[in-house]
């Protein structure tokens, strides 16, 4: 059986928010089967919690921000990406501020934290959302066209293309396709950092954003080059980070999606629009569980090797 998963022990991280610049503490705690991924603001006069869901997304301008029961939590995508990559279904996330800490700008610290806590398979079948038909969202036209889509597939694959008019991107791969497994996620995706341009950083800070951004938690470029002294972690780090973000954005259903995701120049907003289009169309998906190895697609045996 492919079972649900949670963390074995409680673990904690401390860092600053990318946009607020505020110090924040975050704790991951084990949760029973069928709990889901629950954010809990413990700094408020009355603690507020909510389960992640596509409709909880209220702001996608620079990150994926959630709101529920009067509480807001921003920049959830890197942590959500790590939870998806390691197959965690149920976890309590206690946070004492309005934004998840950015750490090094990738999902790697979250992967390390989850691996340190240990992952425990639970006695309840993992519920997949199986895509039954093509679902596509487009935005713009011509040179401004962006799109994202789901198609039926007996596995979890992602294909992403980017297009930036900048010298650095002309030397970097603009496309990536990955068959998502725990190993491929950790090795090929999790270490890719968020990125931005110096002129944008200055503008954002003048408007009270990106206050916690530094060369230690983001790739920053001027008009010609990468400013980070240690360069890139992957030759194609930019498109890999877009895949990392997409993995996190799509996991806001709280369930892995059995299907093929592809996108061109998509971001948090378009990813969420696609996710809502899928979940709101009852004919576009169905629940699937795999309680016997003989009925489990081979791709899922690779994705969850310890659970089959």
23 and 144 within one domain: no
- 125, 142, 168 — which closes off a domain? 125
Q: Number of folded domains in the chain?
A: 2
pLDDT value for 305: 66
Give the lowest-confidence range in 208-217, 228-237, 239-248.
208-217
Q: Is residue 182 part of a domain?
A: yes
Let me know if 306 is exposed, middle or buried by CB neighbors in 10 A (0-12, 13-18, 19+): exposed
Comparing 143 with 254, the larger pLDDT belongs to 254
Q: Could you give the residue numbers annotated as active site?
A: 268
Q: What is the mean pLDDT of the chain?
A: 94
CA distance 246 to 226: 23
Q: Model-level pTM?
A: 0.95
DSSP 202: H
Q: DSSP 3-state assignment of 72?
A: strand
Q: Domain of residue 120: give its range.
A: 3-125
pLDDT value for 294: 72
Determine what percent of the chain is predicted with pLDDT higher than 70.
98
Q: Is the dihedral of CA 107, 108, 109, 113 positive or negative?
A: positive
114 and 154 within one domain: no
For the cut 70, the answer to whether the pLDDT of residue 161 exceeds it is yes
145 and 266 within one domain: yes
Q: Is residue 308 part of a domain?
A: no
Give the tens place of pLDDT for each residue, 72-126: 999 999 999 999 999 999 999 999 999 999 999 999 999 999 999 999 999 999 9
169 and 108 within one domain: no
* Banded pLDDT at 306 (limits 50, 70, 90): low
Q: Is residue 137 part of a domain?
A: yes
DSSP 127: P
133 and 119 within one domain: no
């Amino acid at each position: 059986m492919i079972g649900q998963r949670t963390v074995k022990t409680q673990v904690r991280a401390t860092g600053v928010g990318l946009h607020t610049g505020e110090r924040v503490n975050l704790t991951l705690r084990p949760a029973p089967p069928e709990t889901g991924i629950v954010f809990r603001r413990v700094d408020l006069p009355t603690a507020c919690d909510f389960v992640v869901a596509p409709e909880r997304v209220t702001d996608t301008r620079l990150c994926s921000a959630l709101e529920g029961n009067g509480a807001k939590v921003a920049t959830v995508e890197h942590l959500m990406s790590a939870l998806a990559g390691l197959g965690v279904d149920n976890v309590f996330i206690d946070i004492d501020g309005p934004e998840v800490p950015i750490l090094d700008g990738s999902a790697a610290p979250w992967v390390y934290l989850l691996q340190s806590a240990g992952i425990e398979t639970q006695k309840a079948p993992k519920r997949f959302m199986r895509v039954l038909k093509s679902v596509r969202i487009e935005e713009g036209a011509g040179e401004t066209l962006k799109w994202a889509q789901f198609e039926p597939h007996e596995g979890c694959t992602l294909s992403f293309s980017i297009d930036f008019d900048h010298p650095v991107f002309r030397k970097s791969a603009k496309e990536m396709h990955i068959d998502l497994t725990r190993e491929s996620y950790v090795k090929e995706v999790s270490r890719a950092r968020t990125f931005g341009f110096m002129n944008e950083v200055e503008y954002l800070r003048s408007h009270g954003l990106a206050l916690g951004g530094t060369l230690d938690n983001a790739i920053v470029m001027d008009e010609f080059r990468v400013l980070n002294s240690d360069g890139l972690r992957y030759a194609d780090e930019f498109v890999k980070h877009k895949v990392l973000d997409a993995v996190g954005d799509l996991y806001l259903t709280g369930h892995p999606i059995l299907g093929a995701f592809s996108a061109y120049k998509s971001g948090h907003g378009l990813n969420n629009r696609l996710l809502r289009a899928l979940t709101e169309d009852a004919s576009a998906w169905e629940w699937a569980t795999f309680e016997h190895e003989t009925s489990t697609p081979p791709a899922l045996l690779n994705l969850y090797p310890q659970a089959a």
